[in-house]
Amino acid sequence: MADESKITWYYILNHRSFCDEKACGANASQSKQYLTAHTVDRAHLATIFAIAVTPKVVLSGGGLSSLAVHDSTKPDFPLLQTIKGANPTGCHHICASRDGRVAASASFSGDLKVWSSDPTTGEWKLLTALQTSKNESGGLGDESSVSDANPSQSAADGRSSRNGVWAVALSETGERMAATTVDNRALVWVARNGAMMLEHTFDGFNESFGTCVAISGDDRLVATGHQNGSAYVFSTETGRLMYSLSSLARPLRAISFSPGGSLLATAGDANIIAIYDVKHGEHIGNLKGHAAWITSLDWNDSGEYLASAALDGRVKVWSIDRLECVATHSETDEALWAVRWLPKMGRSEFFVTGGASRSLTFYREATGI
């Protein structure tokens, strides 16, 4: 794993961005090679907005009601299951536990659904649907109203139903789940006696709803990114705010903890990836290179590399050890909405992207098999 504390203090002392525009541009000497391993054409019949991965499958959702499950253990990534009507108004966020037992999806109508994988057959089935609207006592209430917003525009604007969920994240074990709501709250559930019980409710976000959310690998922290460009870090142990992180002054679209938990990455409409030191709540530096909104971030298993996807159709891989952009792929000029690393199997690493092309594209590290 990358020495994250060394990186943190190096940049506190040097006060500069991780990578500038020139270094990450078309003329950069980018040294890490990824090959297109396979493309699943028309994996969905509408834009793909969200991807989640487990050790065996890739789950994806988009502008239509179905979720798709593809087998990631085979070289052609065949379709295993279509969950029809999973999210009737379309899915814009999906996540999964690291062991592949549990997944959660959020729709344009603001509903939040939790799915479980049958340990014998591998089939995904609905476990529960959680409601997030406030009743008069401030607790969980009735189902949120359905949004009539256009799905693609809603994804860009961050709009859903008035009280519904927007972003959702699961802990590695699937025992804790966090979500942001359109009425400017963040909710955290914990699994108890086979059910998801509401554990914490966070608010006070200056009337800016959360567009993205993440849970740290040790399950102790929840981070939210907001439409006003700010990010907040909360403790799941105390239920209190730990840090309010400096703002990029533009909406955030993605937020992600490093596997070691000492770094936090945020990105969005400023076309910049901001890196923070989690322990001290300090801004370390920025990664620059995308020419459009950054929509998705994901760290690889070791924490050595960070992948980013953007509306410019490019996916970039950033080295945290070398502090620079080491690979750029631009297979399409259509918007990318999601990028995820697959759990490492064998010598090579894979990541997958999805977006407006409606295809899932898998990339393989050039060395090894």
Q: Decide if 87 is inside a domain.
A: no
| Tens digits of residue pLDDT in 101-143 | 999 999 999 999 999 999 999 999 999 998 765 543 333 333 3
Number of domains, the chain = 1
Q: Decide if 220 is inside a domain.
A: yes
Q: Residue 270: pLDDT band by 50, 70, 90 thresholds?
A: very high
| Tens digits of residue pLDDT in 174-230 | 999 999 998 899 999 999 887 889 999 998 777 788 999 999 999 999 999 999 999
pLDDT exceeds 60 at position 368: no
Q: Decide if 22 is inside a domain.
A: yes
* Range(s) of the domain holding residue 36: 4-59+170-365
Distance between CA atoms of 273 and 282, rounded to whole angstroms?
Answer: 14
Per-residue pLDDT at 348: 86
The more confidently predicted of residues 3 and 136 is: 3
Q: Decide if 303 is inside a domain.
A: yes
Q: Decide if 94 is inside a domain.
A: no
* Average pLDDT of the residues in 248-252: 89
Q: Decide if 162 is inside a domain.
A: no
| Tens digits of residue pLDDT in 34-57 | 999 999 999 999 999 999 999 999
Lowest mean pLDDT among 130-134, 300-304, 330-334: 130-134
Question: For position 303, which CATH number holds?
Answer: 2.130.10.10
What is the per-residue burial (b if ≥16 Cβ within 10 Å, else e) of 213-222?
A: bbbbbebbbb
Is the pTM for the entire model greater than 0.75? yes
Which parts of 149-277 are beta strand (E)?
A: 165-170, 176-181, 186-192, 195-202, 210-215, 221-226, 231-235, 241-245, 252-257, 263-268, 272-277
